[in-house]
Amino acid sequence: MKELLTKRKAKFIQYLIATFMFIINHFAEIGLFAIIFGAIEEGDLQRYKKIVILTIIYLIYSPINFLVSRMLRIRYMRDTILDVRKQAFDKIINMPFKQYSQKSKEVYISNLINDVNTFENKFFISLLNYLINIGMFVISLAFLIFLDIKLAVVMLLFSIVLYFLASLFTKKTTALEKEISDTNEAFTTDMSNTFNGLEILKLNNIEDKFLKKSVRTINRLEKRKYLANVFTHLQRDVIYIFAFVVSVAVLIYLGYQMQVDINLTEATFIFILCSSISNYLISAFPLWNQIKASTSIYEKIAEPEETTIKIGMGTKDFKFDDKIEVAGLSFSFDKKQILKDASFTIEKGKKYLIKGVSGAGKTTLLNLLAMIHDDFEGKITVDGEDYRDISEKSFHEKVAFIYQDVFLFEDTIKNNITLYKDISDEQIEYAVRVSGLEPFLEEKQDGIHERLTENGKNLSGGQRQRISIARAIAKDAEILFVDEGTSSLNEELGRDIEKTFLELKGTVIAISHRYYEGITENYDYVIELKNSLVHVFPAKDYFEEVITW
């Protein structure tokens, strides 16, 4: 948090100056009131005229002071919140995929929206008012030491008692803010599930059940917010009652002192100082608890998390000039062994087809080779470098994926193919042609610049898949991972796309249930999974045996 606040030191100093300007304004008010009471006591008309002039000066100064102070604060607050949003987004976007997939995407959306907004609304308001109140407390105490040392000591002891009283609330305040954050995450997830599955809900007439579930989630969230508000006001009220008792005692003390050696102006000024000290602390300590709670939210959304994940956390670049070697690879999921002691080699430029019955572990093996899982036994190395030592970002720059489920951005077809990277027009045209997109684009008024609706809902499954294939081909990746890449295409287009995969210069590792006679046997090797064991065959031999059988 300290690094966040002092990142822009000059603007942070301006922020502190803006805070001090509030303090100056406040003491100008106190001084003005004390002078007015003194004039009332003396009944001097000339002095009244001077007070009127001072009041007019103050009325001109006060709004200017406020405006300048706000301008000094607002830019610093805006830039710092922007830093928080960037940090929160960077934390999510740079997570290894396995770590990211441990939570639903709705949790991250809640962090970026709800938690950042909570931090923005509560932290800076609390920090500003805390600094103002503590500054006023210190200056008021300094004035009091000069005017009445005994009363100053009493108020200092009173402040210490209030501090320990407020510290009793800190832990609970932080816990309540965390509960609100967690409940916001659950609420966002529930709402997303409801809206994403709305068609299924309607088709099965279960909207009412999900409505009740949503209402329960909303009630849980509002209850947490209510408890937080009640608790915040409770600690203010407890401190206020204690402070009120002290203020009454000070008033009695000053009434006695006026009979001895102080006038009404001094008594008024001292009473306002003592009352202010109480009010500053009443405000400051709950604000400090709110700052602590907001800091815990910041740490949650922006600070790196401890993780046991190793894949993708390395620092070495991915270089694939020769081969990927798998040695003694074993993998289990939910106590079920998927792979057992697998050893084989992926050669650069070769084409591999993963085969096996449903549930044999084909996608698991593909994901292991694609650096998605790290909790395996054995080793996977590329040109001698362990997968665990390689940067996930470097790996993803040189590989491409084609899956059954295609995600498309609400943007142009071109941007969905290029993924916002600078790719030559020739490469894009090649990707469009070989993926079979040309006839589809010719039908569109804007061609490749046609905008898609949310996740390409205005496209058929085959059209979506072709864009996904064009995306992978345009990237010109060294390795292409394909999981049922032609499953939603018709026979003719499926054959053409499969042929395209086999003609690419890069390495292809694919899963497919389809067999295209005269094409599929042109893979170099078949990796067969059976009873957790992995066997590698030359493709021509494998398919000759299957066809003969």
Instruction: Quickly list DSSP for 21-50.
Output: HHHHHHHHHHHHHHHHHHHHHHT-HHHHHH
Other beta carbons within 10 angstroms of residue 184's beta carbon come to 21
For the cut 50, the answer to whether the pLDDT of residue 548 exceeds it is no
Look at phi and psi of residue 334 and say left if phi exceeds 0, alpha if psi is from -120 to 50, else beta. left
221 or 519, which is more confident: 519
For residues 235 and 172, the answer to whether their CB atoms sit within 8 Å is no
| Residue-level pLDDT at 256 | 78
**CA distance readout (Å), 174 to 123, 169, 171, 291, 294:** 13, 9, 5, 9, 8
For residues 339 and 364, the answer to whether their CB atoms sit within 8 Å is yes
235 or 504, which is more confident: 504
Size (the chain), residues: 549
Six-digit token pair at 60? 């001109």
Segment 526-543 mean pLDDT: 89
> Which of 504, 503, 515 has its CA nearest to residue 353?
515
| Residue-level pLDDT at 465 | 80
For the cut 80, the answer to whether the pLDDT of residue 298 exceeds it is no
Six-digit token pair at 259? 């009979």
448 or 112, which is more confident: 448
Instruction: Name, in order, each residue with C-beta under 8 angstroms of 340's C-beta and a sequence gap of 6 or more.
Output: 330, 532, 533
Burial code (b: 16+ CB inside 10 Å, e: under 16) for 212-248 equals eeeeebeeebeebeeebeebbeebbebbbebbeebbe
| Torsion angle of the four alpha carbons 59, 63, 64, 68, in this order, in degrees rounded to the nearest 10 | 150
pLDDT band (50, 70, 90) for residue 381: very high
Burial of 420 (0-12, 13-18, 19+ CB in 10 A): exposed
Q: Which residue has the tokens 């084409």?
A: 351
| Torsion angle of the four alpha carbons 130, 136, 137, 138, in this order, in degrees rounded to the nearest 10 | 110
CA 308 to CA 302: how far, in whole Å? 18
pLDDT digits (tens, 9 = 90+) for 235-288: 777 777 777 787 788 778 778 777 777 777 777 777 777 777 766 666 676 677
| Residue-level pLDDT at 148 | 82
For residues 436 and 493, the answer to whether their CB atoms sit within 8 Å is yes
For the cut 60, the answer to whether the pLDDT of residue 546 exceeds it is no
Six-digit token pair at 92? 């999510």
pLDDT band (50, 70, 90) for residue 549: very low
536 or 130, which is more confident: 536
For the cut 80, the answer to whether the pLDDT of residue 202 exceeds it is no
Q: What is the CA radius of gyration of the chain?
A: 35
Domains and CATH numbers, the chain: 2-302 (1.20.1560.10), 323-548 (3.40.50.300)
Segment 469-484 mean pLDDT: 87
Q: Which residue has the tokens 């740079």?
A: 94
| Residue-level pLDDT at 343 | 92
pLDDT band (50, 70, 90) for residue 309: low
Task: Count Cα atoms within 13 angstroms, Cβ side, for 311.
Answer: 21
CA 406 to CA 325: how far, in whole Å? 29
